[in-house]
Amino acid sequence: MYEQTEDCQFWLKPLITKVSSILGRSCENMRYEVSVSTDGYFNSNLFFVNVALNANPADDDEANKRVKTVDIVVKKMPTGMNKDVVRSREQFHNEILFYKKYAQYYDRAPRCIYATEEPSTDTVIVLENVANKRGYSMCKWKYDIPMEYTLAALREIARFHATAYTMKRTREKEFFDCVNAIEEIRFYPETTYRVLFNGTATRSLSSFRKQGYDKEFCDKLEARLANTYEDLILKFIEVEEPLATLCHGDFTINNMLFKKESDEQKVILIDFAMIRYGSPILDLSTFLCLHCARDLDKVMLDNVLRAYHDFLIQCLQENDIDGEDYSYEALYEDYKKKGLFGYFIASYFLGVQMCNLKREIECCGKITPTEWTAPLRQFGGEEVDEVLANMLLKLKEFGCLDCIL
């Protein structure tokens, strides 16, 4: 659902004028309508704009003289205290970096029409609205998603990762110049994510103990996870070659759009603010643990990892890159070492995913970051406790606990 807004008019008109010029259209008698989303949560000020653009008077092409309608998405730096907590400036920097340095090689992203990294709230990104222009839409499922959506998402992230592997091989300096310019969003010395990971990593233990599960296992796990952020998360994000690739960094169902085409789900990835260089498992485990939590067992992991890897190799071969450094066995072992990364994200966010996202996030916004842990451990109640506990046992069966217990 969308509602009209007039708050942005004083800065939006000059921006639309600039966009019109970039698109080669006249600014005279320009008309546009603005709407904002009221059913989601965003780390930026997000505006959906429909623009009616006139042709340039000097244009002799009769087709170009017709009024052209353009649908765009405008992302603008937010104001308020929360922008420092979520590192809005760094997020905008990374997304602009992505569009300027990487998107020319990964052509599946929405077209970036204009982007500028200015001080404070003047930073802005203008993108094509792929929902209106290309017929893509959000997935109606937020968790327990159908397998066809999972496979579609993994095919697209395989393409994304393969593009990075290709660029790393063929344009090494350009690639690492881009990687080295990425700014850290989550894992920096004073991050609030330390509190979230350490405070929620043991949430599943309440379910284990209630079921009378092996006390020795529970005690050992509780002690091992006391400093999850320092002892595990920081190790998971360490760069290990040759599997390290450019990761989306926030590979969740909210950051992709779907369209059924020729009986197959197609995916477009959006929101590249959290890109990072690291193991592909960071992306894969995040998606699987958040959106396939009930189904995530050894058989399912074997199947989806194989599907991801098959498409990865196909994409590499299309770019004349051999897959010798990216074997399935190496990927499998890396998932065993780092697959808990997504589980720990699910420990603090799955409850939000399964509840009313907007309401619960707004609740957290009214308290300090260090006070987030208590409500995040409770969202979803015993149902989420049990889902997390069962998922952890399945990951244990796969081998993901071998390196920590």
Percentage of residues in the chain with pLDDT exceeding 70?
A: 87
Instruction: Identify the band that residue 369 occupies on the pLDDT scale cut at 50, 70 and 90.
Output: low
Identity of the residue numbered 222? E
pLDDT at 241: 97
**In this predicted structure, what is the pLDDT of residue 395?**
97
Q: Which of 315, 388, 382, 379 is nearest to 347 (CA)?
A: 388
Q: What is the mean pLDDT of residues 78-89?
A: 75
| Alpha-carbon separation of residue 185 from 200, 237, 314, 318, 332 (angstroms) | 20, 13, 32, 33, 27
Rounded to an integer, what distance in angstroms lies between the CA atom of residue 145 and that of residue 292?
6
Summarised one tens digit per residue, pLDDT across range 274-288 is: 999 999 999 999 999
Give the pLDDT of residue 300: 96
What's CA 376's distance to the chain center, in Å? 20
| Residues 301-357: tens digit of each pLDDT | 999 999 999 999 999 999 999 999 999 999 999 999 999 999 999 999 999 888 865
Instruction: Indicate if 147-398 has the same CATH topology as 2-134.
Output: no
pTM of the model: 0.93
- 303-313 per-position pLDDT tens digit: 999 999 999 99
- CATH code of the domain occupying 147-398: 3.90.1200
Q: Which long-range contacts (CB under 8 A, 24 or more apart) does 316-324 make?
A: 316/162, 316/165, 316/166, 319/162, 319/166, 319/170, 321/162, 321/165, 321/166, 321/169, 321/170
What do you get for the CA distance between the two ends of the chain, in Å?
Answer: 48
- Of 7 and 211, the structure prediction assigns the larger pLDDT to 211
- pLDDT at position 2, please? 34
Provide, rounded to the nearest whole percent, the portion of the chain with pLDDT above 90. 69
pLDDT of residue 322: 93
- pLDDT digit string (tens) for 214-262? 999 999 999 999 999 999 999 999 999 999 999 999 999 999 999 998 8
Q: What is the pLDDT of residue 355?
A: 81
Kindly list the domain boundaries of the chain, sorted by start residue.
2-134, 147-398
Pick the closest to residue 18 from 108, 135, 118 (CA basis): 118
pLDDT given for residue 310 in this prediction: 98
What is the model's pLDDT at position 21? 86
As a whole number, mean pLDDT of residues 172-197 equals 95
Token pair recorded at residue 315: 């994409």
Residue 3 has pLDDT above 50, yes or no: no
What is the reported pLDDT for 287?
A: 98
User: Is 90 exceeded by the pLDDT of residue 358?
Assistant: no
Measured in degrees and rounded to the nearest 5, phi and psi for residue 7 equal -65, -25
Among 20-29, 56-65, 343-352, 374-383, top mean pLDDT goes to: 343-352
pLDDT at residue 133 in the model: 81
Give the pLDDT of residue 4. 40
CATH code: domain 2-134 is: 3.30.200
| pLDDT reported for residue 64 | 53
Q: Which of 111-125, 135-149, 367-381 has the lowest mean pLDDT?
A: 367-381
